[in-house]
Amino acid sequence: MHIRAAAGLWFRGVRRHLGNDQRQQQNTSSKMADTDKKSARDREEIIAISHLNKWFGDFHVLKDINMTVAKGEKVVVCGPSGSGKSTLIRCINRLETHQEGKIFVNGIELTNDVKRIDQVRREVGMLFQNFNLFPHMTVLENLTVSPVWIRKMPLAQARELAFQYLERVKIPDLAHKYPNQCSGGQQQRIAIARCLCMNPKVMLFDEPTSALDPEMIKEVLDVMTDLAKSGMTMICVTHEMGFARTVADRVVFMDGGEIVEENDPENFFTNPQYDRTVTFLSQVIAH
């Protein structure tokens, strides 16, 4: 793995990124100072991203992203399609490699070092739009296989844990079904349970409800709200503005690979700072 990653980097070559527009620099530097002060006092940062830049080939997807997430904080990331939301949160558990900037997760910096990537993935769970359950295993096996093989947990204990989390997402009776025999909403809840079985400190959600029918969206959002109440740190890319309003501590709005603005939900929805945010909100809410 290590060699693979290193080889990838070698061939891609190291790119130098030059120049940033004025607004952004002022914006970020003031924000950095702000968060620095805060973190010293009452925030226990679990994720810190600074000056993150990423390219796909020649395409600059993420432009100088600065962001911190405190323990127990719920952050909703929103923005138009193609703005780099998925790419950003996929960088946090190294499903994508970044070329510039630093990402710290729970104090560990993400580099090409496999050991660190491993440690970070230990702390970070991720949910996907299309669930990505393992189709050749029963639901119970889906939940137990990772604790048993990655954490070397005894099978009996892993089963117990699995049932505990299935209970929590309210589908204990599906344990012996195969994922394809479950509805989309159930599959997403199974995926949440699978993630929880690895006992993550942070959970990333990449549009967890956008492949679902309206009736199923609610059951997944309920589970996520429940999770939020239990104090889990969550970063959630979603278009569910209702969820953002009720659950999020902070809303981050991205466009064109930049963070345009971030604010607490109250201010974000009632008092957006940029015209881009206003247009986006009017579109999302009108629809």
Ligand X SMILES: Nc1ncnc2c1ncn2[C@@H]1O[C@H](COP(=O)(O)OP(=O)(O)OP(=O)(O)O)[C@@H](O)[C@H]1O
Residues near another protein (CB under 8 A) are 1, 3-4, 7-8, 93, 95, 118, 121-122, 124-126, 128, 130, 132-136, 145-146, 148-155, 178-180, 191, 194-195, 198
Binding partner of residue 4 among ligand X, another protein, Mg ion, none, CB cut-off 5 to 8 Å per kind? another protein
Binding partner of residue 155 among ligand X, another protein, Mg ion, none, CB cut-off 5 to 8 Å per kind? another protein
178 within 8 A of 141, measured Cβ to Cβ? no
Closest CB 276 distance from another protein, rounded Å: 30
Element (H, E) at 63: strand 59-70
Name the site residues for ligand X (rule: CB under 6 A).
Answer: 56, 59, 61, 79, 81-87
Closest CB 21 distance from Mg ion, rounded Å: 25
Does 86 participate in binding Mg ion (rule CB under 5 A)? Answer: yes
Residue 100 CB-density burial (10 A; 0-12 exposed, 13-18 middle, 19+ buried): middle
* Binding segment (CB under 5 A) for Mg ion, from list 61-69, 80-88, 183-191, 274-282: 80-88
For 172, which DSSP code?
A: G
Pairing relationship of beta strands 258-263 and 233-237 according to DSSP bridges: unpaired
Binding partner of residue 125 among ligand X, another protein, Mg ion, none, CB cut-off 5 to 8 Å per kind? another protein
Binding partner of residue 81 among ligand X, Mg ion, another protein, none, CB cut-off 5 to 8 Å per kind? ligand X
Binding partner of residue 179 among ligand X, Mg ion, another protein, none, CB cut-off 5 to 8 Å per kind? another protein
Which alpha helices (H) appear in 151-213, and where do they start and end?
A: 155-168, 184-196
Pairing relationship of beta strands 100-105 and 45-56 according to DSSP bridges: antiparallel
CB atoms near residue 3 (< 10 Å): 10
Residue 30 or 81 with smaller CB distance to ligand X? 81
Residue 152 CB-density burial (10 A; 0-12 exposed, 13-18 middle, 19+ buried): exposed
| Dihedral angle, C-alpha 226, 92, 249, 44, nearest 10 ° | 100
Q: Which residues make Cβ contacts (< 8 Å) with residue 273, sequence separation at least 6?
A: 261, 263
**Rounded CA separation 9/110 (Å):** 14
Closest CB 109 distance from another protein, rounded Å: 18
Binding partner of residue 56 among another protein, Mg ion, ligand X, none, CB cut-off 5 to 8 Å per kind? ligand X
Residue 209 or 277 with smaller CB distance to another protein? 209
Residue 84 or 185 with smaller CB distance to ligand X? 84
* Binding segment (CB under 5 A) for Mg ion, from list 15-23, 85-93, 170-178, 241-249: 85-93
